[in-house]
Amino acid sequence: MGRFGPDSDRTAAAVHEKRLWSRLMELATHGAMPDGGVTRLALSEADIDARRLIARWAESLQAEVLADDAGNCFIRYAGRDPELPPVMAGSHIDTVPGGGKFDGAYGVVAALEVIEAMQQAGVRPKRSVEAVIWTNEEGARFSPGQMGAAAFAGTRSVDEILCVKDRDGVRVRDVLPRMLAALPKARMRSLGVPITAFFEAHIEQGPELEAHATQIGVVTGIQGRRSFIVTVLGEAAHGGTARQSERKDALLGAVRIIGALEASVLENESDARLTIGTFSLEPNAPLVVPGCVRFSVDLRHPENATMKRLGDLVPAICARHRGACAVEVVENANAPCAYFGEPMMQFIEAAVDRLQLSRRRIFSLAGHDSREIVKIAPTGMIFVPCKRGLSHSALEEAEPHDLAAGARVLAEVVIAACDA
């Protein structure tokens, strides 16, 4: 996996806690909300401004900026042999509406910190190091997420993702050129270039590390997910005159379906997670029987076999409980669980031990870009604690020294992998 030594140790030692923290706080001004949270939807003005800021940081580090057709951005610090596939580290900088300052942003800023620490320590490894910003991890604006990473890994085609629309009908294709225009010095590169390894540092988004007073989580894998868009088509009618027995009420159909999904999916499956995160009805008027309802179904389970079985239930349940309405079910994401493997986990654990930090293994219930990248390269994830496990919230909080500890582990593994 890699070789630890004086170069990786010196880089880790040069990680600067205050610099890391102040960059995170500066990044959080883009999309800042009055309550302390951040709304920086993928390819929004705030996302574009944040990337512009990161490109400025890259310039001050004399690092090259690259981009690809999925809008992924790479800050490249060339190694002694620039022909070798680079070692990448990074995450995403888009947020959910009302998200926090650390989810994703930490992994990108930590990767930049590794590059700066390398320079300060006078380390130039054999392979190049690239800090990466994956486009649209959250999928809050353009669903589903992990879009840039999936395109990079070849799971989704560029043609398909460019056509994805947000709620206002704006396509990825319409806004991506604006983002690229904001980075005039970025060199375009083809998607999915070979990489040696990928590392993602991230806040845990769960309570385990804090509860066990542990500094580093070594991630074993990432829970899979299947998601669906369900459309229930009824018939709009006058709320006062249409006979109850003859109505095709799309809302009542949707309510029956959701109740049945809850009963069937969650029955005897305490590890399953079911979320109806979006819901709309038409015409949405007080005196009109709803003619059309559309909602999302997000389904997760830590085991692939159960995940498959539960997901396969969704279309059948929708059909069985639709009543007089028609129903259409479209599956828009099917990402099996990812496992990072024993050699990668032991490699990260060796770095943690080298730095004399505490550690435990954690299976990630939240999705990450790494779930895509592990399909094409050795991939590892490093978790740091966050307060009360809160994330996707303005209350998301992390301690500067915990973030710096995670960045030091990242520095060790990145530099060690560069000299593999």
**Which residues in this chain contact Zn ion in the complex, by CB under 5 A?**
103-104
Cα 54 to chain centroid, rounded? 18
CB of 47 to Zn ion, least distance (A): 14
Residue with smaller CB distance to Zn ion, 7 or 47: 47
Residue with smaller CB distance to Zn ion, 77 or 198: 198
Residue with smaller CB distance to Zn ion, 139 or 291: 139
Residue with smaller CB distance to Zn ion, 249 or 396: 396
CB of 267 to Zn ion, least distance (A): 30
CB of 396 to Zn ion, least distance (A): 10
CB of 205 to Zn ion, least distance (A): 7
CB of 398 to Zn ion, least distance (A): 13
CB of 111 to Zn ion, least distance (A): 14
CB of 368 to Zn ion, least distance (A): 6
Contact present, 49 and 56 (Cβ < 8 Å): no
Residue with smaller CB distance to Zn ion, 248 or 368: 368
Residue with smaller CB distance to Zn ion, 110 or 416: 110
Q: Is the peptide bond before 283 cis (omega within 30 degrees of 0)?
A: yes
Residue with smaller CB distance to Zn ion, 103 or 166: 103
Residue with smaller CB distance to Zn ion, 103 or 412: 103
CB of 51 to Zn ion, least distance (A): 16
CB of 72 to Zn ion, least distance (A): 15
Contact present, 341 and 381 (Cβ < 8 Å): no
197 burial via Cβ count (<10 Å: 0-12, 13-18, 19+): buried
Q: How far is residue 227's CA from residue 141's CA, in Å, rounded to a whole number?
A: 15
- Which residue in the shown chain puts its C-beta closest to Zn ion? 104
Residue with smaller CB distance to Zn ion, 121 or 131: 131
